[in-house]
Every structure is written in structure tokens, then in C-alpha cells.
A and B are shown apart, each in its own frame.
Chain A
Amino acid sequence: MRNWLHKYKSYKQRTSVPIPDRILDHYRDELIDIRLPVTISHLRTILGENDDFEVREFRVFGRYDAAVVFLSTMADLERINEQILKPLMFSDNNARDQGTEDYLKLNDVMNNYLNVALAVKTNELGLILEGIMIGKVVLVIDGNEEALVVGCRKVEKRAIEQPQTEQVLRGPREGFIELLDTNLNLLRGRLRTTDMRVKISPIGARTKSKVAVCYLEGVANPKLVQETLRRISKIDTDGILDSGYIEQFIEDHPLSPFPQVQNTERPDKTAAALLEGRVAILVDGSPFALIVPALFSQFYQTVDDYTERFLMGSFVRLIRLMALIFSLIFPSLYVSVISYNPELLPTDFAVAVAGGRAGVPFPAVLEVLIIEISMEVLREATIRLPQLIGGALSVVGVLVVGQAAVSAGFASPITIVIIAVTTIGSFATPAYNGAISLRMLRFPLIILAGILGLYGVMVGLILIANHLLFLESFGAPYLYPIVPGNWEAMKDTLIRGPLWWLNKRPSYLQSYDGNRLPSDDAKPDSARPLQFSDKEETNRD
């Protein structure tokens, strides 16, 4: 027993074996040589096997031996020409005459000739290699103990487009793209406050993907920020290729069907979340930002709720909530009423249903399951098809699943209606991962309905509700603000209260600053009614 316990403990405390970046670790502590040819040959032995590894040797001002080292696929060749080679090789430079010493000091080059913003002096080989790998250019000048690592990365990016998964009728049309810098730029453009903090660190032993954690200082609870950073720093994997990877490492309950981290392609949504006191996580290479903590109520909320007037927003939100519930329980209710308790239906309708089902050879539960599954297959097929073929497929799908199935005696018309309402309901849910979790749970409910009728459906619903009640996202109760109840947050849950009513931040985030606006006596003296100046505001963007 003790032995076993010991084994268990050592298993639990097992420290991970770090995946080495072999070349980097090997040369981490080495310094570069003062002689140019030695340094270059050293670099060639390390990276020379790559065909895109380039060493361009030249003479600075026609006098001093130097070289720029870079990966031709990563570095921006135009900028190397314009910003590094041109100023250093330009023969008309008066520096040529000043240089009386045997060698050119790197400091002089950096201070006087290079017109590049990002440049770092270093003599560590590890840093130099790392720089080359991410597209920087290394300038080595003979006779210097240090080299200059110049930021000159070639940035390939697609244009900023409207987010495909979260379209809005009214609201900003910008979406995140794959480049972290651009995404942070979009975010900072919306939050022009000095309180915004961005912490970037490389995650993934081999990919070293840049992961940025953003929050508003003084608004987000420091414990939440710490917990987020702690969970991210504990991620131990070789590669992070999308923010979805991060989500799976930091969520509270990996076995739950419900997502506990929200993802969004929209900078405005991310900014709104930061203003509420949440924490956003962005990953280089992924157009999706993660937002923690995430609650159930966020599944059926959209940007449109807030950009439209509040009565419309509230109405649409209620409709969406109903659609959400439909998509979960409609088929199972149908199966249980048809197979166990048809007496609950009004007589006329019950007769109509029985008439429709007259030729169908299967029990209701089997019929619904078959149609549901074919509907899911159809949905899955249309997602990945090119749009040209997608249209043809949906026509075939409509014909097969709709008309033909009924006339073939395969399914009753009412079943088709039920499944259609369910599917449309699940498409009306804005969050794809939220919708799919409920779609998944629909199947066990249908089977329970087939076994135990309405009683089974109720038992299944209690189980789901209890699971939701027990669920937490970063310590926040998942069904908040319904349970535990909170009046302030209820204003923006089932309905969307008017914006002037929503002057408190959600209390479960326990923001430092619970009020969105300072109270009247806390306002500084300088706060006065906004006056628009006659002059056009100078915009530095």
C-alpha cells in the first residue's frame, strides 16, 4: 500500500522532461567571436544546412568587413536593402573620413547610421540564433565583440475582413486576423487607456508561439489575472497552433460538454469583455481571442443586442434563448408524447399525428434518431464544401430529408417539422461551441425519452441542470446570475437592459472597480460636461 502510494505521489509530482530546442540549447551560453570569418563560419555550420540561410558579406563604407545574416524566407529583403545595406554602403557618407581607428564601433553604427526602430546589441549566440529564426537580421562587423540583431521580419498577412462566424447586422465589421501584432493593434485602437496591460510570452516547446494575455489594470481582479497566467504558464506541450489548444489546456472541466472559455473573432467583443473585467488571451497565428471566465448566458448574447435599442435587443435575445431551449428538448418531448402519453395532446391534433405516422414502420424514437442523424450529417457536409457545391447539396438535402422521406413512408411529416424547428433553433444560437454542446446532449435525451417517456426527459434535464449548476469557469459559477442570483447582473441576462441602467460590472468577476462610472463625489474636479471644441481634433492614427 505504501509502495503504491509512493508510486502515485511520484507520478503526480513527475516533472516534465523539457523538449529541447537542440541547437539553441547547445549554443545558449556561447559568445560570438571577435573575428568576422570565425563567426560566419560558426553560423554556417549551425544553420548552413537550410537552403534559405543567407550570408551577405560586404564592406562598410568601403573599409570595414561586415556581413548581414538572415533567412531569406523570413526577412524582408527590401528593408534590408533600404535600411541596413544602403546607409552602411553609401560611399558619400562623411563617416568614411572620420573613421580613423582600425575597426568600426557597433555603437557608432547603431547610433548614427541605422534607421531602424528595433535593434538590439548582443554577444550571445543563443539570442542571435533565436533572432534569425523569427526573421530578424543579424549585422556582424569585424572587430566587434557584439552583433546587432535588427527587427526586419517580412510580414505576410491577409486583409482585415468581416468575421465569418460572428456576423452582425449593425456593429463594427472588423475581425481579428492571424497576426498577433495586428490583433493587438485592433484591440488597443478600441481601448485607448493606459490601464490596458498586455503580457506576451512564448508557449510551446517547439513552436514558441507568442501568447498575449490582455486585461485592464484596476478593473480585472488581480486574482483572476494571476490564475490565468498561472494556468497558461503550466501548459506543457510542443506546439500551440491555435488558441483552441490553449483553451483545452486551461479550462476547468475538460469532460464537460459545455465550453467554459469563450472565443471570438471580434475585437469589439473582446474590448467589451475587457471593460467588464475579464481577461482575453490572444495567440499568434490564430484569429480567435479567448475570453475567461465564460458563462452560460454568453452563448445567446451577440453584439447586435447592444448596438440596437434595448427593447429590440431584449426581444431578440429572448427569441434566441427560446431557440436554444427548443434545440435541446423539442425532439425528446415529441418522442415521449407520441410514444407514451398521446393523451396529453388535444384529440384533433393527436388524430392528425396518428394519421401522419400510419405508414411509418419504425417506433417514434428510431424515426427521430434517423432523421436527426441525417440532419447532422447534412449540416457537417455543408460546412466544408465549397460554396458552389454547397448549394447543390442543400437542394439534395432538402429533397431527401424533407419531401422524399415522407412520401417514401420513412418518416412522418410532423417529425420533419420537429426536426426542422430543432435544427433552425440550434443555428439561431450565436456561439457555435455552445450550440454544438446542446446538440450533442439532444441525443441522450431522445434515447431517454424512448425508454422512459416524459419522466426520462425530466430526469435527463435535471441531470443537465445539475451539471450546469456544479460547473465553474475560473471560479465563477456557470449559471450566474440566475444562480447564485444577482439583481444587477440580471439586467443584462434574459433581457438586455438600457445601457444607462447597466452601470455596474458583473459582480462575479469581483472587479476592483465594480462601478463602470465613478460616483459623483469621486469624480475629479476637472470632470465637466463634455464640450466639443471648434477645432478639429488632431488624430494621430
Chain B
Amino acid sequence: MIRAYPVTAIRATAVVISTIIGVGVLSFPKIAAEAADSGAPLVTLAAVGIAFAGLVILAVLVRRYPKENIMQFGGRLIGKRVARCFNLLLILFFATSTGLSLREFGEVVIEVLLPETPIKFTIMVLLLITVISCRCTVIKFSYVHSFYLPSIVAISFVMFFASLKNYDTVNLMPIIGNHPDGFWKGAMSIAALFQSAFVLCLLIPYMRNPNKIVASTIWGVGISGIIFLLIVVSSISTFGAEETKHLKFPTLEAARSATIPDGALERLDGIFIIVWVISVFTTLFSTYYFSVAASKETFGLRDHRLISSFLLPYVFIVSLLPRDVFILTSTGVPIYRFGLLLTIGYPALLLLISTFRGHRRITDASNA
């Protein structure tokens, strides 16, 4: 009845931040430490840079076609068949990434909260609420993200400050690391954690002011980049690089060591994980929603709600495939890195073609 509420720039920023901050935050200091031991913060910084470049390319691209999403104009730019292949790859990648994140979080829950509950069950519960929630429209999708954003950012900062007392800055030296052999590989792996923000390309047709998408992306990646840096600094300085390499979930361990002096709660890691369910949910919600919405476009369906249920078995099976958490990381990280090729390469390709074709940003004047 009353007009819909178009996605504002702030809400687009919220989508970017809450999508990026997910289960990967719990384990990425380990990846960073393995890449360049005490140079981990620098690796993270490089990763933020890569992700920043990739997402800004995407944002600049979608800004040129403010009335369509990437599935629609992609077909026009590089041909229907090729675009369809890319779309299918994207759907497959994001569905797989949903499954792997689910599994990773399932492992965390088992380790911290529910050691005796079968992992299938914890995974299924989270997957189910994601699937149910994915039956909404894009505007409601942005509501969900902006609703949860404050608690996600707040818990990240609380954890950083609560574990401050265990810091030892010596652990951060030397800043470039002792053996920065795998520096770029590690940076790519961490940058891959940012790529779920690809979902922002769904928002553009619903934005009040599509030109602000680039600014939203910059703010979003910037804020989540700061949170990533704070977290890697806190883990490395608490445990030292060598110790961090041996921890499954270094961020969680840092939280475990944090206490509130004379507090009402004995331990904080349980609370941390509980609130973290939110940020994991928002990430799963984004990647799953992207797969669902992209399937709808690719297969030319009118409604995405049925697809939402059809993708469930695939995601569930993917999440159960890895035998344990080590296989999960050793297969998951390369898959995420391959995803970078897709989520940065494909928009870059489209941007190049669109520039050659002479499509420029449609300004407000010509739009009206």
C-alpha cells in the first residue's frame, strides 16, 4: 500500500559489513600466521587491499547498470551462453561456500557449546533458519542485515577490548614477519573471506540512490577491514605467531582468555559464540540468498522461494562431506581462493567489456 522502503546507502553498508564478518573471522589469524608468522597483520592488510580492489570494481560495474542485477546485464555484455556459464559457476560457488561455512561453524559450536550433540543436527538447525529466511524480498534482506549489524560490530569490539590485558606487543615484531614466504597466498586466502560481499550486486536495482553503492562498498570494506586487523593483532599479540598456528580457532581462544574483572560471568567465550551465531547467520544468509536469487535469474523463474528449498540438500551434503576440521580447511581455503577468480575476475572482465563498448555511468540527469 504505502511505498516500499528502497535500500539506503547506510543499509547497503550494513549488508557489506555483516556479510563479510562471518565464521572465517574465528580462524583467519591462523592462516595469516602460517603465511608470514609475525607479519600476520601485514598479510591481513594486504588481503583487505585485494578485497577492496575487487569489491570496488564490482561496485563501479553495477553502478553503470542501476536498473539491473549482474545476471541480467552480464548476458547482454558477453553473450547469453557465456554469462550463463559464469552464473552457474557463481551459484555453485556460493552454495558450496555456504555449506563449508556451515560446517566450520558447526565445528565451533561442537567444540565450545554442545560437545555431545551430533554436528548434523546443529548444522541442520542453522541451515533451516537460513532457508526459511531466504524466502524474503531484497528489501527485507537488507532489513535483516541492518538489524543485526550493531550487535555484530559491538561484539567484535568488545572481544578486542576484553582481551587487551593479555597483550604482549613483542609478539608482533618483526612487523614484516620472519619467513614471509606464503605472504601473497595467505593474503589471497584472507581476501577470499571478503568475497561474500559480492551479494551487493543484488541490491543495486532496489537502491534509492544507486550512485552511492561505491561509497557504501568503501565504507563497508573499510570498517570490516579494521575489525579484521584488530582481531589479528589481538590473537597474534596474545599468543604469538607460533602458538597461533597450532590453534584451530585463534580468535575464539583469545576470547576464552578474556575475562571481565569481578564480572557476573565466569567465562566470555560462550557468550561470544552465542552472539557470533548472528554474524554467521548473516553471512550464510547472504551467500545462500545470492545462490537462490541468481538461480532465479539464470533459470528465468518468477519466484525464488521454491529454489530456496531446492538448494537445501546440496548445501547440507556439502557441509557434511569433509571428514574433519583439518580436511575442511585444506579443501575449503583453495576453493575460496578459486572463488576470488570468479568474484573479482568476472566483474573485472565485464567492466572491461563495458568500457570498450562505451557504457558509462548513467548520471542522475540522464536517468531522470
Contacts and interface: CB of A to CB of B under 8 A. Distances in A.
Interface of A: 221, 223-224, 227, 340-341, 343-347, 350, 452-459, 462-463, 465-466, 469-470, 474-477, 479, 482-485, 508-510
B1 A470 contact: no
Given A469-B143, A469-B144, A340 B113 contact: yes
B147 interface: yes
A351 to B, nearest CB: 12
Interface in B130-180: 132-133, 136, 140, 143-144, 146-148
B154 to A, nearest CB: 15
A411 to B, nearest CB: 24
B125 A458 contact: no
Contacts of B136: 470
Contacts of B266: 343-347, 350
Contact of A452 (B122, B144, B146): B122
B199 to A, nearest CB: 17
A181 B121 CA distance: 59
Nearest to A480: B5
A455 B143 contact: no
Contact of B146 (A227, A455, A483): A483
Contacts of A470: 136, 140, 143
B2 A483 contact: no
Contacts of B263: 346
Contacts of B117: 452
B348 interface: no
B129 A462 contact: yes
Given A346-B265, A462-B277, 5 more contacts: A345-B266, A453-B113, A455-B273, A458-B275, A484-B8
Nearest to B262: A346
B143 A484 contact: yes
6 contacts: A223-B2, A452-B125, A453-B114, A455-B277, A479-B143, A483-B147
A452 B114 contact: yes
A483 B113 contact: no
Nearest to A345: B266
B271 interface: yes
A508 B1 CA distance: 11
B112 to A, nearest CB: 9
Given A341-B270, A346-B266, A454-B113, A469 B126 contact: no
B133 A459 contact: no
Nearest to B126: A459
Given A455-B109, A458-B274, A223 B265 contact: no
Nearest to B142: A484
Given A458-B274, A484-B11, A508 B114 contact: no
Contacts, number: 98
Interface hub of A223, A475, A483 (most chain B Cβ within 10 A)? A483
A477 B278 CA distance: 21
B246 interface: no
Given A452-B122, A484-B8, A462 B278 contact: yes
B119 to A, nearest CB: 12
A340 B129 CA distance: 22
B5 A455 contact: no
Interface string B1-12: 111010010110
Ranked 9 nearest A-B pairs via Cβ: A475-B1, A475-B2, A227-B1, A458-B277, A483-B147, A484-B5, A469-B143, A466-B133, A483-B143
Contacts of B143: 469-470, 477, 479, 483-484
A185 B80 CA distance: 67
Nearest to B278: A462
B267 A224 contact: no
Contacts of B265: 344-346
Contact of B132 (A453, A463, A509): A463
Nearest to B147: A483
A484 B145 CA distance: 11
B2 A508 contact: yes
Given A455-B109, A484-B11, A508-B2, A462 B281 contact: yes
B127 to A, nearest CB: 11
A331 B297 CA distance: 44
B292 to A, nearest CB: 15
Contact of B270 (A223, A227, A343, A469): A343
B264 interface: yes
Nearest to B269: A344
A152 to B, nearest CB: 42
Contact of B125 (A347, A456, A465, A485): A456
Contacts of B126: 459
B114 to A, nearest CB: 6
B122 to A, nearest CB: 7
Interface in B276-308: 277-278, 281
A382 B346 CA distance: 67
Contact of A469 (B10, B121, B147, B274): B147
Contacts of A458: 274-275, 277-278
A450 to B, nearest CB: 12
Nearest to B150: A482
A463 B114 contact: no
A455 B114 contact: yes
B146 A484 contact: yes
Contacts of A476: 2
